Structure 1
């Protein structure tokens, strides 16, 4: 099963990134085989809708779970519609967070844990 982890760099020992839509990479780990790959987050530089674009990237990558620190309502909705589970509580490195997931130490989210972003100041 493929699990995606928000990461600052594209490798298994990368520090995790707290942001979902704006993290620069995801490390996608097959928890059964231990194989992994770095996946650039193509949505992270978008002017708006980064969470939605990022969620769609992971849907297209075939992941079944996402490990995050924070995630907003729009991204959460896209992932939920695709049947992708979202877990919070990552810390340290990608590898450490995957191990925490394997041991059942991360919390399954049923709703977003970050507010919708405001568009104040934009015309």
Structure 2
């Protein structure tokens, strides 16, 4: 199972980024074997491309800070679970996610309140 983490650095000791689109790296962590793929967030990666990388690596979830509406909609449409991990290292956030102790991101503002306006009926 792959989990994406928007991070300030390239390893498990790095902090989770406060903003998805301005993270320094998108880490793809294989939870089965602990392999990490670090994708540098450069000028060529828009928020849309970054969100699509999460989908391309078949990630079941993402741990991040605030998502803007475009990335939020892309990830939501692909059924990627979104967790708020700001304030934690990547390693700690992954452990908290596994223990179901991270808050869900239910709206583009990054909170766990479900406003209902982003659901398709």
TM normalised by structure 2 equals 0.79
Shift of 1:87: 0.9
8 Å contact kept, 2:16–2:85: no
Give per-residue Cα distances to partners, 1:1-59, cap 9 Å, x unaligned.
Answer: 111111111112212211101211022112233332222224xx25xx93222111211
Structure 1 residue runs of 4 or more that deviate by more than 3 Å after TM superposition: none
Q: Is 1:113–2:112 an aligned residue pair? A: no
User: What is the aligned residue count?
Assistant: 110
In structure 2, what is the equivalent of residue 13 of structure 1? 13
Instruction: Identify the residue that residue 119 of structure 1 maps to in structure 2.
Output: none
Contact map agreement 2:7 2:90 (CA 8 A) in 1: yes
Segments of 5+ residues of structure 2 without an aligned counterpart are 111-121
Report what 2:67 is aligned to.
71
On the 8 A contact 1:71/1:112 being kept in 2, the answer is yes
Gaps of 5+ in 1: 115-123
Distance 1:31 1:107 in 2: 19
Within 5 Å, give how 1:27-42 maps onto structure 2: 27-42=27-42
